[in-house]
């Protein structure tokens, strides 16, 4: 991100710790983007190197129809539709979907007609149709906060895949050195994540971030401060948002996929099909077994 630098102070009390889930995990809401995150999302969440083209390669191989889970503001939906593929995008954050719908509405008719946007939960998909490919880009699987949620999502995905259909998704592989170094309640140093202009108002915006790692729960909490500056450069609006991601280890994922009826075809370490390396990326390709 442009304009990034690190300050010499740590983030103090503005954020309350997110409560731990109940033992059964049933009351735990799935993490989602809303409010300030949705408004600023496209300015701070530009994806991972090579991810769009990598997913498009799998999509071309599969053909229509395709289901994208965690479609957000439509970063992937538009390129998929431009490839001539019929695609359904599902997300549970209404503010994100509003942005995605606006992007799709601006497309030519023949492209726009290929896209369907659905408000829904990947843990309980109910679309009454099957797909050749399901994708979960940009680590969206990590918004599932319990094993129960992970299994529910994978089971629901399996039910919506054609026989032999594929699931392709990516998560980060935990960097154990980084996690161990920043596992105290103080968290990481506060870092300026991005600077950009807000299209609607023309105001300057800055985004700050600090992270906290919970070893017991395998949860990374990202605390973000969104600041809007007035014409004099004074902060006119400040918003605080926490976001949790539950990291997952390689062989946890192997067991989850196999338990939910998938056969693993490949695990890559990047979007160029490089070998898996600890602390990097996990890019999975799995096939729905009969």
In which residue are the tokens 């954020």 written? 15
Residue 28: its pLDDT value, please? 52
Q: Read off the pLDDT of each residue in 232-259 and give the average, rounded to a whole number.
A: 94
- On average, the pLDDT of the chain sits at 86
The reported pTM is 0.85
pLDDT at 23 over 50: no
Total residues found in the chain within this entry:
290
Beta strand 66-69 with 131-136: parallel, antiparallel or unpaired?
parallel
Q: Read off the pLDDT of each residue in 180-199 and give the average, rounded to a whole number.
A: 76
Instruction: Name the more confident of 6 and 183.
Output: 183
Could you state, in order of their start, the residue ranges of all structural domains in the chain?
A: 36-172+248-288, 176-246
Residue 100: its pLDDT value, please? 96
Collapsing DSSP states into helix, strand and coil, what is residue 140?
helix
Collapsing DSSP states into helix, strand and coil, what is residue 125?
coil
Domain 176-246 of CATH type 1.10.3470: no
Residues 94/123, Cβ–Cβ less than 8 Å: no
Residue 189: its pLDDT value, please? 76
Residues with Cβ within 8 Å of 128's Cβ and at least 6 positions away in sequence, in order, are: none
Q: Which CATH architecture has domain 36-172+248-288?
A: 3-Layer(aba) Sandwich (3.40)
DSSP alpha helix (H) spans, the chain: 36-44, 51-62, 77-82, 94-105, 109-112, 147-159, 176-181, 250-259
Torsions phi, psi for 120 (to 5 deg):
-170, 180
d(CA 276, CA 170): 12
Lowest mean pLDDT among 44-48, 185-189, 247-251, 264-268: 185-189
Tens digit of pLDDT for each residue in 75-127? 999 999 999 999 999 999 999 999 999 999 999 999 999 999 999 999 999 99
Instruction: Name the more confident of 46 and 248.
Output: 248
User: DSSP string covering 209-237, please?
Assistant: EEEEEETTTTEEEEEEEEEEE-TTS-EEE
DSSP 128: S
Tokens of residue 48, six digits? 């991972």
Tokens of residue 104, six digits? 């799709």
């Amino acid at each position: 991100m442009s304009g990034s630098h690190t300050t010499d102070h740590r983030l103090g009390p503005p954020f309350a710790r997110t409560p731990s889930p109940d033992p059964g995990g049933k009351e735990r809401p799935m993490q989602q983007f809303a409010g300030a995150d949705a408004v600023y999302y496209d300015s701070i969440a530009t994806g991972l190197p090579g991810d769009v083209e990598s997913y498009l390669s799998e999509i071309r191989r599969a053909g229509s129809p395709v289901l994208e889970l965690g479609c957000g503001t439509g970063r992937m939906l538009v390129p998929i539709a431009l490839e001539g593929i019929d695609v359904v995008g599902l997300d549970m954050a209404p503010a994100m979907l509003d942005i995605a719908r606006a992007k799709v509405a601006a497309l030519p008719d023949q492209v726009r007609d290929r896209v369907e946007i659905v408000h829904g939960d990947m843990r309980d998909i109910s679309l009454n149709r099957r797909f050749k490919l399901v994708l979960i880009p940009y680590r969206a699987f990590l918004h599932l906060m319990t094993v129960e949620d992970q299994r529910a999502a994978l089971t629901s995905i399996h039910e919506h895949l054609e026989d032999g259909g594929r699931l392709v998704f990516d998560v980060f592989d935990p960097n154990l050195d980084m996690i161990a170094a920043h596992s105290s309640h103080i968290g990481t140093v506060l870092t300026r994540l991005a600077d950009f202009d807000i299209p609607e108002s023309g105001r300057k915006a800055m985004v700050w971030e600090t992270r906290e790692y919970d070893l017991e729960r395998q949860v990374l909490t990202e605390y973000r401060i969104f600041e809007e500056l007035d014409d004099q450069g004074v902060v006119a609006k400040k918003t605080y948002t926490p976001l949790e991601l539950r990291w997952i280890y390689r062989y946890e994922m192997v067991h989850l996929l196999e338990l939910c009826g998938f056969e693993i075809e490949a695990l890559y370490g990047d979007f160029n099909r490089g070998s898996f390396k600890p602390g990097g990326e996990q890019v999975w390709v799995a096939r729905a077994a009969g």
